[in-house]
């Protein structure tokens, strides 16, 4: 077994045929004959050690002879790492299969027990585009490359510095804490799918969670809402009015069908049959206020949707168009810094200012937990707090008890007279 040079090539290669082993026709990747001879000795040592696994991977060209030789001389333990990477499947193929599973009927979230929404699938796909941009081999990376070191490196390259400033070492590539958390959520969902659905055993790296900001709280005052309505195109006002006057999420309004809007009962039904419902707590009936009833009445008379037809179809279904019309209306109305989701904030803040109890606000907004609703209660006026304190003081002093007893006595007297 001696290295040789192929005609017209400067580097050495070996061609080994051992009985019971696959043929090894390998490039040494060096012009140094002594190094090439040393690689031949490494091959013989692997054969004597019974490492058919490594020789098989070399024969399939899934390992480079130079890498195995260097690891064998410097750190024999590193050979196992090379082997793990070689036998690990291509990451891009796995992610593509996972994204296809998310869109299939079998794609059910283990956390919510619901189908993955199209928005979630798009977010997951975007997160993996970010992962591939950091991985040296991109989609050609191996599953074994998704380890703790990769997670820490991705966090270092993509996270913003303290105080919300972008890292100067990665201009234009840093992301917010919320985006980073969504990226790691996508990675966690992928690893869960590998374990539970594909049955692939992989060491799951710890996934950090960044501290997020408290979020935006832009909402429109009554004056801003009036100017928004005045500047809004007539055919678009019923759509935005539904957002403002119900506090429903954008996807919930886009998913409304003709049978969901009952003007006679002054009710809008958000139900689980609509795939855009975020959680089971979002299933609810919403009242139709007077201004919204008039706007929806004109819209329904114009489009006349059937029971299963979308109330807001065509351009209302495309967020890009919705955002374009919203931004144009805000510019015409002189409103700055507002987004479509702020219509939901507007409803919640005005509900707090009107004294709606927090429990009923949670039901109206479809919040999954009560911890999400109190953020709006800081907008409740002090007058309500004074009124509540006075009620508690009266009850502590016994006045409320006396009033209750008087009402019970009067009710009994009326029953006797009847």
For residue 88, the model assigns a pLDDT of 78
Whole-angstrom distance, CA of residue 347 vs CA of residue 84: 55
Beta-carbon contacts of 359 under 8 Å, excluding residues fewer than 6 positions away, are 370
Domain that holds residue 168: 91-198
Give the domain-ending residue among 34, 60, 87: 87
Give residues with Cβ within 8 angstroms of 395, minimum separation 6: 401
Q: What pTM value is reported for the model?
A: 0.55
Whether residue 140 lies inside any domain: the answer is: yes
Domain contains 207:
no
- Same domain flag for 227 and 322: yes
Cα(307)–Cα(130) distance, integer angstroms: 42
Is there a single domain that holds both residue 154 and residue 288?
Answer: no
Q: Are residues 26 and 160 in the same domain?
A: no
Domain containing 301 — which CATH number?
A: 1.10.443.10
- Asked whether residue 162 falls in the same domain as residue 255, the answer is no
pLDDT of residue 278: 58
191 and 170 in a single domain? The answer is yes
Residue 209 inside a domain? The answer is no
Q: Which of 24, 58, 87 is the last residue of a domain?
A: 87
Residues 338 and 276 in one domain: yes
| Strand 284-287 relative to strand 267-270, pairing | antiparallel
Give the pLDDT confidence score for residue 222 in this predicted structure: 92
Looking at the structure, do residues 76 and 95 belong to the same domain, yes or no? no
Q: Same domain for 226 and 78?
A: no
Instruction: Identify whether 409 is part of a domain.
Output: yes
Reported as type and span, the H/E element at residue 268 is: strand 267-270
- Kindly state whether residues 391 and 375 are assigned to the same domain: no
For residues 115 and 247, state if they share a domain: no
User: Are residues 320 and 283 both part of a single domain?
Assistant: yes
SS3 labels along 152-200: HHHHHHHECCCCCCCCCCCCCCCECHHHHHHHHHHHHHHHHHHHHHHCC
- Tokens encoding 331: 């510019």
Identify the pLDDT of residue 163: 41
Task: Please indicate, yes or no, whether residues 348 and 394 belong to a single structural domain of this protein.
Answer: no
Instruction: Report the pLDDT value the prediction gives residue 238, as an integer from 0 to 100.
Output: 96
Q: How many domains does the chain have?
A: 4
In angstroms, rounded to a whole number, what is the distance separating the alpha carbons of residues 330 and 324? 10
Helix (H) or strand (E) holding 392: helix 382-396
Tell me what pLDDT residue 119 has: 80
Residue 214's pLDDT is 62
Residue 210 lies in a domain: no
On whether residue 212 sits in a domain, the answer given is no
Question: One digit per residue, pLDDT tens: the chain, 418 residues?
Answer: 788 887 777 889 999 999 888 889 898 989 999 999 999 999 999 999 888 888 988 888 878 899 899 999 888 778 887 887 777 788 999 999 999 999 998 888 887 777 887 888 999 999 999 999 989 889 988 888 888 999 999 988 877 543 444 433 343 456 778 888 899 999 999 999 988 888 776 788 999 888 766 666 788 999 999 999 999 999 999 999 999 999 998 988 998 999 999 999 999 998 766 555 556 667 888 999 999 999 999 999 999 999 999 999 999 999 999 999 999 999 999 999 999 999 999 998 888 888 888 788 888 888 777 677 776 666 666 555 566 666 666 666 666 566 656 666 676 676 666 5
């Amino acid at each position: 077994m001696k290295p040789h040079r192929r005609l017209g090539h400067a580097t050495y290669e070996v061609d080994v045929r051992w009985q019971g082993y696959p043929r090894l026709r390998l490039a040494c990747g060096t012009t140094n004959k002594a190094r090439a001879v040393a690689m031949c000795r490494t091959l013989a040592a692997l054969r004597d050690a019974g490492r058919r696994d490594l020789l098989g991977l070399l024969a399939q060209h899934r390992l480079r002879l130079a890498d195995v030789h260097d690891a064998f001389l410097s750190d024999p333990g590193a050979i196992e790492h090379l082997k793990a990477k070689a036998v690990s499947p291509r990451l891009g193929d796995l992610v593509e299969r996972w994204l296809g599973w998310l869109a299939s009927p079998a794609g059910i979230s283990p956390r919510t027990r619901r189908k993955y929404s199209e928005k979630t699938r798009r977010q997951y796909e975007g997160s993996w585009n970010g992962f591939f941009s950091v991985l040296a081999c991109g989609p050609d990376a191996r599953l074994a490359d998704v380890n703790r070191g990769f997670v820490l490196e991705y966090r270092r390259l993509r996270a913003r510095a303290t105080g919300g400033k972008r890292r100067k070492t990665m201009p234009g590539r840093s992301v917010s804490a919320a985006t980073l958390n969504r990226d790691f959520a996508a990675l966690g969902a992928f690893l869960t799918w590998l374990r539970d659905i594909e049955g692939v055993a992989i060491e799951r790296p710890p996934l950090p969670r960044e501290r997020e900001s408290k979020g935006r709280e832009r909402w429109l005052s009554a004056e801003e809402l009036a100017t928004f309505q005045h500047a809004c195109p007539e055919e678009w006002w019923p759509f935005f009015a539904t957002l403002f006057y119900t506090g429903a999420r954008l996807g919930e309004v886009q998913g409304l069908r003709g049978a969901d809007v009952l003007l006679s009962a002054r009710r809008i039904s958000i139900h689980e049959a609509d795939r855009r419902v975020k959680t089971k707590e979002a299933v609810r009936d919403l009242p139709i206020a007077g201004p919204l009833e008039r706007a929806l009445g004109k819209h329904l008379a114009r489009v006349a949707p059937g029971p299963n037809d979308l109330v807001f179809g065509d351009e209302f279904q495309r967020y890009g168009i919705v955002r374009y019309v919203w931004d144009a209306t805000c510019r015409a109305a002189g409103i700055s810094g507002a987004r479509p989701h702020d219509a939901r904030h507007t409803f919640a803040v005005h509900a707090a200012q009107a004294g709606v109890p927090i429990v009923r606000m949670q039901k109206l907004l479809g919040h999954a937990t009560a911890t999400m609703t109190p953020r709006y209660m800081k907008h409740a006026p002090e007058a309500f707090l004074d009124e509540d304190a006075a009620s508690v003081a009266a009850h502590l002093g016994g006045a409320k008890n006396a009033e209750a007893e008087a009402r019970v006595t009067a009710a009994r007297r009326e029953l006797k007279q009847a």
